[in-house]
């Protein structure tokens, strides 16, 4: 146990938070299986992460002390919940939602101030994530602002590991969801036929889901969607601002966007990590990890592993796609990947239609997001195009 108490690194150190990606690149080379009080065991290498993902008997998802549907479950408990939610992301519902998704993206891009510096996070990233999640779930526009404020409170509490604040934030979100469930029950047959109402009618193991299960499921969907979609928009626009040739290629051939998006997000992760817990003693990378220890799977490092991808910053979408862990792997691969991919592709299609370029604003430095979030907190860019509001 003595080895566990030696701090190999500090994930919350200022130099790590200022540029998480580069810090993880360094750790992958110097200490690929590392202990810290904050994350316990952190895995930086692609092969080690894949080993965990493919062995769910040894590396359990039941990390949280609270109910987490279905993210924090293992088979056989996990399986029926997973089967229940997967149809919501099948081709038919995705095709049905696509026009609404495109309308949300188009309206945001229409309102974007062209030919002058804007903060991408405030103007595009967060609004798109909020609007698109509420649209998909069938939630009212009145939730946009409370959810925006909730996301920030949740992030601050998580980073600080303030258990009391995390509990308070969770209870606040649960209150929003319970109000939505109650309003649909009161409406009876007049309730809207949307994803939230449909989930209320689902059965798992022959029984309707309890409110506790529904709230947990909807919380997991929403937290994941709001954080990763927002981070992804900032990462994508920043990358294209620094790679104008790729911007021009994608504008000319938008059919290449889907593959390009996955590759850009491989290099610069919107979702930094996930957790597991060991069910038995195990050795990884020469380190002995006892049963009951928490493990952090660092997507932001594994997806840049030189042994798997070569030079991690080389843009090679077709070569790297088979090993890309953007949406995970194994039985817990993200069920919402089809939705996220569609939302990001449509947003970028609508953006590229209306602009002729993206420029870095030299006088103002961007601010990177801090763990556990990827992307940016502040990203000043200039979108070039014909905007009548500027004349």
Tens of pLDDT, residues 321-338: 999 999 999 999 999 999
Q: Is the predicted pLDDT of residue 388 greater than 50, yes or no?
A: no
For 203-221, the DSSP string reads EETTEEPPHHHHHHHHHHH
- Mean residue pLDDT of the chain comes to 92
**pLDDT at 34 > cutoff 50:** yes
CA distances from 316 to 24, 259, 267, 311 (A): 21, 9, 10, 10
Which residue in 310, 316, 212, 227 sits closest to 264, CA to CA? 316
**Span 129-177, pLDDT tens digits:** 999 999 999 999 888 888 888 877 877 777 777 778 878 888 888 899 9
Q: Does domain 2-390 have CATH number 1.10.10.10?
A: no
Taking residues 345-352, report their average pLDDT: 98
**Domain spans, the chain:** 2-390
In tens, the pLDDT along 259-293 reads 999 999 999 999 999 999 999 999 999 999 999 99
Cβ atoms of 227 and 154 closer than 8 Å: no
Contact between 25 and 46 (Cβ < 8 Å):
no
- CB within 8 Å of 155: residues ≥ 6 apart: 227, 372, 373
Residue 138: the pLDDT is: 94
Highest mean pLDDT range out of 6-20, 59-73, 109-123? 109-123
Over the stretch 71-106, which tens digit does the pLDDT of each residue have? 899 999 999 999 999 999 999 999 999 999 999 999
What is the distance between the alpha carbons of residues 318 and 129, in angstroms, rounded to a whole number? 27
The pLDDT value recorded for residue 83 is: 95
Indicate the SS3 state at residue 241: helix
């Amino acid at each position: 146990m003595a080895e566990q108490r030696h701090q190999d690194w500090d994930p919350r150190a200022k130099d790590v938070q200022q540029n998480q990606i580069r810090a993880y690149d360094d750790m992958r080379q110097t200490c690929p299986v590392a202990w810290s009080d904050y994350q316990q065991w952190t895995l930086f290498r692609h092969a080690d992460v894949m080993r965990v993902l493919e062995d769910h008997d040894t590396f359990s998802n039941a990390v949280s002390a609270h109910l987490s549907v279905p993210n924090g479950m293992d088979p056989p408990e996990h399986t029926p919940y997973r089967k229940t939610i997967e149809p919501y992301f099948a081709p038919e519902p995705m095709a049905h939602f696509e026009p609404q998704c495109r309308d949300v993206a188009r309206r945001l891009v229409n309102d974007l101030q062209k030919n002058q510096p804007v903060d991408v996070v405030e103007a595009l990233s967060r609004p798109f994530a909020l609007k698109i999640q509420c649209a998909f779930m069938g939630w009212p526009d009145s939730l946009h602002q409370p959810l925006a404020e909730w996301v920030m409170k949740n992030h601050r509490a998580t980073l600080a590991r303030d258990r009391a604040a995390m509990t308070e934030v969770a209870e606040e979100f649960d209150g929003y969801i319970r109000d939505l469930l109650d309003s649909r029950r009161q409406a009876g047959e007049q309730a809207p036929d949307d994803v939230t109402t449909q989930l209320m009618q689902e059965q798992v193991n022959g029984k309707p889901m309890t409110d506790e299960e529904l709230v947990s499921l909807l919380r997991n969907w929403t937290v994941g969607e709001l954080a990763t979609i927002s981070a992804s928009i900032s990462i994508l626009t920043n990358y294209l601002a620094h790679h104008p040739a790729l911007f021009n290629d994608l504008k000319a051939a938008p059919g290449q966007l889907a593959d390009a998006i996955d590759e850009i997000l491989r290099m610069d992760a919107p979702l930094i990590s996930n957790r597991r817990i060991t069910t038995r003693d195990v050795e990884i990378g020469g380190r002995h990890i006892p049963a009951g220890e928490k493990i952090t799977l660092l997507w932001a490092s594994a997806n840049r592993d030189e042994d798997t991808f070569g030079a991690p910053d080389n843009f090679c979408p077709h070569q790297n796609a088979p090993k890309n862990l953007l949406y995970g792997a194994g039985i817990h691969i993200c069920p919402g990947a089809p939705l996220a991919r569609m939302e990001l592709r449509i947003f970028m299609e609508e953006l590229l239609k209306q602009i002729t370029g993206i420029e870095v604003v030299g006088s103002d430095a961007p601010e990177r997001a801090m763990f556990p979030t990827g992307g940016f907190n502040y990203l000043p860019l200039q979108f070039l195009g014909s905007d009548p509001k500027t004349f």
